[in-house]
Amino acid sequence: MSTPESLALRLFDKHAASLRAARAACLHRGYFSLFQETPDQHPGGEAAREAASGAFKAQLGRPFELDQPGTLDRVGEEVSPYTCEPLGIDYPRADLDALFAAAHRALPAWAAASPNARLGVCMEIVDRLYAQVFLGAQAVMHTAGQGALMSYAGSGTNALDRGVEALVYAQAAMKDVPPEALWERRFGSTTLRLRKRYRLVPRGVAVCFACATFPTWNAYPAMLASLATGNAVIVKPHPTAILPMALAVRTCREVLAEAGFSPDLVTLCCDTNAEPVGKRLVKHSQAAIIDFTGSARFGAWVEQNAAPALCFTETSGVNTVVVESVEALEPVVRSLATTMSLFSAQMCTSPQNVYVPRDGIRCGGARIGPDEFGAALAEAMGSIATDERRAGQIMATIQSQGTLALVDEVTDLGQRRGRVLRESAAYRHCEFPNARTRTPLLVGVDAGARDLYGEERFGPIGFVITAADRLDALAQATSDARQGGAITAFVYSTDPAYLERAELGFSASGAQLTCNLTGPMPLNFAAAYSDYHVTGLNPAGNATLTDLAFVASRFRITQVRAPEPK
Amino acid sequence: MSTPESLALRLFDKHAASLRAARAACLHRGYFSLFQETPDQHPGGEAAREAASGAFKAQLGRPFELDQPGTLDRVGEEVSPYTCEPLGIDYPRADLDALFAAAHRALPAWAAASPNARLGVCMEIVDRLYAQVFLGAQAVMHTAGQGALMSYAGSGTNALDRGVEALVYAQAAMKDVPPEALWERRFGSTTLRLRKRYRLVPRGVAVCFACATFPTWNAYPAMLASLATGNAVIVKPHPTAILPMALAVRTCREVLAEAGFSPDLVTLCCDTNAEPVGKRLVKHSQAAIIDFTGSARFGAWVEQNAAPALCFTETSGVNTVVVESVEALEPVVRSLATTMSLFSAQMCTSPQNVYVPRDGIRCGGARIGPDEFGAALAEAMGSIATDERRAGQIMATIQSQGTLALVDEVTDLGQRRGRVLRESAAYRHCEFPNARTRTPLLVGVDAGARDLYGEERFGPIGFVITAADRLDALAQATSDARQGGAITAFVYSTDPAYLERAELGFSASGAQLTCNLTGPMPLNFAAAYSDYHVTGLNPAGNATLTDLAFVASRFRITQVRAPEPK
C-alpha cells in the first residue's frame, strides 16, 4: 500500500536530477533554468496557451473554487489594469484562528515526513505550476498589470526557478544534519557509547505576504522554503492581486492531497483594502514565520513587531544610477530608458535616481553635461512611448490607481523645484485600449531637492540629478542606498579606479551593483541561481534570495540519545 | 613584506587540519576534541598549572591591564565564592559610543580580509586560550565558583571546542558562496557574458553578553562566530564574573594585533550591578548582532527589543526527569543525585523536576513508590554531601549570594506545600573553609504545587513530583518544557513504546532528551561537535550551538557584475 511518505519519495525520485542540477548551479552560479523561458518554447505549446486563455475567461465573474476551512464569507475587489473592469471573482474570506487551527492539525504528518519526501512534494508543486504557467500569467497580467512576456517569464518561470533555488538551499541546510550518530568516549575506566538521533522540527505556521505588482516572485521561494522544512503556510495576497496566489494555493493543496497529506498545509487568507488583516496575522500567537514583500512602511512595522516569529522581508528602496564616463552615450541611454520604462518602473529593482556630475560625463575627449544627458534620456524614453508595439510590451500598465496621483504630485513638485524633462502621459495600448497606462515622468533636479528624490517614488518616476562632481555623485548615490534602502545600483565608468570605489561604496551600502551594462538584457534582471537578491544591509529588506540564512532557521533540531550496548 | 592577510593565512595553514577534522566531526557527530580534556594531560604540564596559579595570585588586588579606548574610570566588584573575599581587581569602564566607534574604525580591514585569514586568526585565538587554560580556569573558579575540573574542562577545553565548532559552521556557510562566477545567456541573437563577483560583508558590531555561572561556554562560540564572519565584538561580562572574559578579550586583542589587525575588533564593556548598561548596549543604534546568555527575564526583553539587530539567546528553563520503569533503581538514583548536585545545579542543563507515577516506578516485578524513590534520591545526595572530597569536587560553590535566599524561600514553601526530603545546608569545603556552599534541597510535592516547580528555581533545588500516572508524568514534564522552557530532559523507562512517546513529546517541546543513561558521565553533559545545545522551540533560548542558523545570517552577500568580453 502506498503511504504518503512512499508516494512523496517517488516524487522526489522523479525530480532528484533537477534538484541536483539546481544545487550545482547555485554553487557555480552560471546561467541555469529548469524551464523554457519564452512562451513559444513551453512544452504545452499553443494549445496550453489557448486553454489557459479559455480557463481565465471562464473564471471571470465567478467564485474562485477553493475548498478550505474556516470560510466566513467571500470577498474580491480585483480590477484588471488592462481593461479597468472588475474581474468579478470572489474568494473565501477565512476566520484566522480557523486557518491556524487547520494548519496545526495538518502539521504533525508533514513534519514527520522525511526531508526528501517534502522536497518531492514541493518539486511536484513547482512542476504543476509550470504546467499551468499560462493561466498564472493571465492572472498576473490582469491583477499586477505586467506585460504578457514578463507575466510568463518573470512571474512564471523565473519565479519558479527562484522557488527551486530556495528548495535547493533548504535541502542543503537539512542535509547538514545527519539522521544519527554513534558517540563513544572513555570516562575513567568505562567506555560510554551513546546512540544519538537527530530530528528536524519545523517552526510551525508560516505567513507569506505577497505584494501587488510582483506577487509570485518572492512568494514562491518563501512558501517553498517553509514547506520543504516542514512548516505550514498561510498565504496572504494583496487584495488587488489575489488570483495569482489563489491559483498557486489551489495547486499546492491539490498536490499535497494527492500525495496523501492534508491540503490545509497551504491556505489562502484574503482581506479587503477596507478591512486589512495583515497586522492580526503578524501578531497572531501561532504565527512562527513571517515572509513579507510589500511597502517599506508596513515592512518596517513587520520587522519591529514580528518577534517571536522569524521575519524575512523585502520592501523597496531608492535604486540609483551613476553615469561618470562612457565610451558611447547612446547604448547607455537606450538601456537606461528601457529599464526605467520596464513595467513602468513598478519593480523593486527599477532604478529611480540617475546621478550626473555637474561638469559632465566624460565621453572620449568630450563632456556631456547634465542637460544634454537628460534630454537624451528623455528622448530615448519618448521613442519607446511612441512605438505602439514596444510601448505596451515594455511599459505594460499601472497596477494601482494611486500611482497616477503620485505621478501628478511629483510632476507638480518637479515643475516647481526642478525641470520636467519628460512629462508622464497615458499611452494607447495597442491591444487593450482602456488600459491604465503612463509613460515615465523624468525630472531634472539639483542636489538641493533631496526631499523629492531621497525616498522611493513608486511608479514611472525618474530623476536626473546634477551632482557637484563625480565623487559627489557616488557619495549621494550610495547614501541614497544606505538611508532609503536599495536593492540595485548601476554605474557607468571607463575609469577602473572609479569602478572600484563604486564597488566598495555600494557593497558597504548593501546595493547589488551592475557596471557598464548595455544591450538587450534589462539592467535590473536578477537571475535565479546566480544573482543574490537583496542584501539585508539597508532598509530595503532583511532577507536574501537565496542564501543559507533564508532557510537555515526555518527548522530546528531536536535530539534523543541513549546508551547503546556493544 | 608581511601583510595582515598573509600573516593570517599562515595562521590558517597552521590550523587547517584541525578545522578539517572538526568539520568532519560535525558531520558524523561522533566523539571529537582538539584538546586534552583532563588537566594532567595538558601539554604545558604541571609547570603551566603552577605558572597560572602564580599569575592569578599576582593579579589579585591589582588593576587588570587592558589597553583599550574610551575608558571613563575603573570598576570591579568580584568576590570569590571560594574565599568570600573580594578579588580586588578593577577593570576599565568604557564609554559605549567610544567602543562602537573604535570597532567601526577597525572593521574595514577585518571585513576586507579573506574568510580563511579571519579563520586563521580565530583559530590562533583558540590556541592561545588553550595555552593559558589554567589561568582561565582559576578565573572561572573564583568568579563563577565552579570546581577545578569543571573550570578546566567545561569552561576551558569544552568551551573552546564549542568555539571551534562555531568556526566550522561559519566556514561552511561562507564557503557556500563562491568568490565569482561567469554567467552567460542568449538574449535574442546576442550572447551576454557577465562576470560576477560576490563579497561577504559583516553585519557590523556584535555585542556578546556572558553569564555569571558559565561565562565562556556560550561566549566563545558567539564571539568566534561573529569574528570569523567579519564582525567586531564588544564583550559584556556579568559584573560578578568579569575576569574570565577580560582574559579572553585581552588574548583576542593580542592575537589580532600580532596579525596586523586592530585590537579594537574585540573590546570589554564592564558595568556594575548598580549601574547596568545591558539595555543601552542592546538598543545602541550601532549594535548589529546581540548574543545573550543569562536570565530568562532579561533574555525575553532582549528578544523583544533587539530588532533591527539580530539576536541569539540562551536563557534557562525547567529541565525535567521522568522515572517510569527501571531495571535497577540504584544506578539511576546515583546518576540523578550526582547530576542534580553537579556545580550545585547552577547549569542551564541541570535537571530540576523529577516526575514519578503515583502508583510507583516499575522495577522487575515490584513497584517503587514516590516516597521510597524520594528517600533513595535524598540519601544518594546525602552520600555525596558527606563525602568531604567528592562534595567539593561535585557541588563546588554557590555563585551568587542571592541563591542562598532562594534556597531558604523554597525550603519554607516546601515545608508548607509538600515535604522537604532533604534540607539544604552548607558543607565544609576541604580546601576552602570559607567557601559559599549549599547541598541540594530536595522537596517532594504533588502536582497541585505547580506554582512551586513550574518555573526555574536557579540553584541547588530539586523536586520529586508525584504524577497521577505514568502518562501524566510525561504530560507534565513536556508541558514544563514547552511553557517554562527547557534545554534537557531525561527519561528512564524499560518500555519501548513509552520511550517513543517521550521522544515525540520532548521533541515537540524542544528539549533534548537523554534516555536510560547511568554511569560515570554527568547526565547533562553536552558534547561539542555532537550534541545540539538549545533547540529554539521553547522559551529557553532561540539559538542552537551549533547549527548553520547560528552563523549564516552573521554576514551578508553583496555582488558586482559587469560584461566580460569573449
Counted across chains A and B, CB pairs separated by less than 8 A come out at 205
Residue B151 confidence (pLDDT) = 98
Answer yes or no: do B506 and A558 touch at CB < 8 A. yes
Put simply, whether A27 touches B (Cβ < 8 Å) is yes
d(CA B178, CA B256): 26
Which SS3 state, helix, strand or coil, does residue A384 take? helix
| C-alpha dist (Å) from residue A80 to A212, A227, A401, B137, B357 | 12, 31, 11, 71, 66
> β-pairing, A180-187 with A91-94?
unpaired
Task: Name the residue facing B184 among A30, A182, A556 (closest C-beta).
Answer: A30
B-contacting residues in A 319-338 (Cβ below 8 Å): none
CA-based max dimension of chain B: 88
Task: Name the residue facing A516 among B173, B557, B562 (closest C-beta).
Answer: B562
| C-alpha dist (Å) from residue B126 to B120, B165, B221, B251 | 10, 11, 10, 9
What is the per-residue pLDDT across B83-136, written as a single tens digit (0 to 9) for each?
Answer: 999 999 999 999 999 999 999 999 999 999 999 999 999 999 999 999 999 999
Which SS3 state, helix, strand or coil, does residue B33 take? coil
Task: Name the residue facing B188 among A520, A532, A559 (closest C-beta).
Answer: A520
* Contacts with B515 from chain A: Cβ below 8 Å: 560-562
Residue B295 confidence (pLDDT) = 92
CA trace torsion B445, B449, B452, B455 (10° rounding): 110
The DSSP code sequence of A212-230 is SSSHHHHHHHHHHHHHHTT
Answer yes or no: do B558 and A194 touch at CB < 8 A. no
B-contacting residues in A 169-198 (Cβ below 8 Å): 172-173, 176-178, 181-185, 187-188, 190, 192, 194, 196, 198
* Contacts with A558 from chain B: Cβ below 8 Å: 506-507, 510-513, 532, 535, 537
Put simply, whether A433 touches B (Cβ < 8 Å) is no
Phi, psi of A195, rounded to the nearest 5 degrees: -90, 125
d(CA A241, CA B270): 53
Minimum CA–CA partner of B518 in chain A: A563
Helix (H) or strand (E) holding B243: helix B243-258
Q: What is the mean pLDDT of residues B476-485?
A: 96
Answer yes or no: do A192 and B510 touch at CB < 8 A. no
pLDDT, averaged across chain B = 97
Nearest to B545 by CA among B233, B33, B155, B166: B166
What is the per-residue pLDDT across A475-489, written as a single tens digit (0 to 9) for each?
Answer: 999 999 999 999 999
Residue A26 confidence (pLDDT) = 98
E-strand ranges in B398-500 read 419-422, 441-446, 461-467, 488-492
Phi, psi of B267, rounded to the nearest 5 degrees: -135, 165
The count of other CB atoms within 10 Å of the CB of residue B87 is 22
Residue B398 half-sphere exposure, CB side, CA atoms within 13 Å? 23
| C-alpha dist (Å) from residue B432 to B112, B141, B142, B383, B437 | 50, 12, 11, 20, 10
Put simply, whether B538 touches A (Cβ < 8 Å) is no
Residue A1 confidence (pLDDT) = 67
- The residue assigned the cell 501587488 is A212
Residue B9 confidence (pLDDT) = 97
Letter string b/e over residues B389-409, b meaning 16 or more CB atoms within 10 A of that residue's CB: eebbbbbbbbbbeebbebbee
Nearest to B440 by CA among B427, B453, B428, B431: B427
Task: Name the pLDDT band for B1 (thresholds 50, 70, 90).
Answer: low
Which SS3 state, helix, strand or coil, does residue A323 take? strand
E-strand ranges in B324-460 read 325-326, 351-357, 361-363, 366-368, 419-422, 441-446
Task: Name the pLDDT band for A448 (thresholds 50, 70, 90).
Answer: confident
Put simply, whether B199 touches A (Cβ < 8 Å) is yes
What is the per-residue pLDDT across B300-326, written as a single tens digit (0 to 9) for each?
Answer: 999 999 999 999 999 988 999 999 999
Residue A535 half-sphere exposure, CB side, CA atoms within 13 Å? 31
Residue B231 and residue B204 in contact, taking contact as beta carbons nearer than 8 Å: yes
Nearest to A324 by CA among A379, A376, A371, A373: A373
The DSSP code sequence of A132-199 is THHHHHHHHHHHH---HHHHHIIIIIHHHHHHHHHHHHHHHHHHTS-SEEEEEEEETTEEEEEEEEEE
pLDDT > 70 in chain B, percent:
100
- The residue assigned the cell 595562521 is B11
Q: In the beta sheet, which residues pair with residue A442?
A: A422, A462
d(CA A340, CA A334): 10
Nearest to A423 by CA among A436, A437, A411: A411
d(CA A506, CA A355): 14
Answer yes or no: do B560 and A198 touch at CB < 8 A. no
Closest CA of chain B from A82, distance in Å: 27
Minimum CA–CA partner of A185 in chain B: B31
> How many angstroms separate the first and last alpha carbons of chain A?
36
What is the per-residue pLDDT across A88-102, written as a single tens digit (0 to 9) for each?
Answer: 999 999 999 999 999
Residue B188 confidence (pLDDT) = 84
The count of other CB atoms within 10 Å of the CB of residue A100 is 24
* Contacts with A188 from chain B: Cβ below 8 Å: 520
The count of other CB atoms within 10 Å of the CB of residue A45 is 11
* Contacts with A561 from chain B: Cβ below 8 Å: 512-515, 517, 531
Cell of A465: 540629478
Nearest to B140 by CA among B129, B127, B125: B129
Cell of A111: 513534519
Q: Dihedral sign, CA of B448, B451, B455, B461? A: negative
pLDDT > 90 in chain B, percent:
96
Tell how far CA A490 is from the center of its chain.
20
* Contacts with A530 from chain B: Cβ below 8 Å: 181, 183, 196
Put simply, whether A389 touches B (Cβ < 8 Å) is no
Task: Name the pLDDT band for B45 (thresholds 50, 70, 90).
Answer: very high
Answer yes or no: do B30 and A182 touch at CB < 8 A. yes
Q: What pTM value is reported for the model? A: 0.97
What is the per-residue pLDDT across B371-418, written as a single tens digit (0 to 9) for each?
Answer: 999 999 999 999 999 998 999 999 999 999 999 999 999 999 999 999
Burial (CB count within 10 angstroms: exposed 0-12, middle 13-18, buried 19+), residue B182:
middle
* Contacts with B178 from chain A: Cβ below 8 Å: 27-29
The count of other CB atoms within 10 Å of the CB of residue A433 is 9
B-contacting residues in A 495-534 (Cβ below 8 Å): 499, 503, 506-508, 510-521, 527, 530-532
Residue B253 and residue B266 in contact, taking contact as beta carbons nearer than 8 Å: yes
Residue B463 confidence (pLDDT) = 98
| C-alpha dist (Å) from residue B258 to A333, B3, B125, B192 | 51, 11, 11, 46
* Contacts with B31 from chain A: Cβ below 8 Å: 183-185
More confident residue, A2 or B479: B479
d(CA B165, CA B531): 11
Nearest to A285 by CA among A111, A109, A96, A112: A96
Q: What is the mean pLDDT of residues B5-12?
A: 97
Q: What DSSP designation does B294 have?
A: S
Q: What is the mean pLDDT of residues B212-240?
A: 98
Phi, psi of A171, rounded to the nearest 5 degrees: -60, -45
Residue B187 confidence (pLDDT) = 87
Task: Name the pLDDT band for A316 (thresholds 50, 70, 90).
Answer: confident
Answer yes or no: do B515 and A201 touch at CB < 8 A. no
Cell of B133: 587554560
Q: What is the mean pLDDT of residues B13-34?
A: 98
Residue A247 and residue A139 in contact, taking contact as beta carbons nearer than 8 Å: yes
What is the per-residue pLDDT across A219-230, written as a single tens digit (0 to 9) for each?
Answer: 999 999 999 999
Cell of B81: 565564592
Interface test with A, best of B38, B182, B185 (most A CBs within 10 A): B185
Spatial neighbors of B328 by CB under 8 A, at least 6 apart, are B363
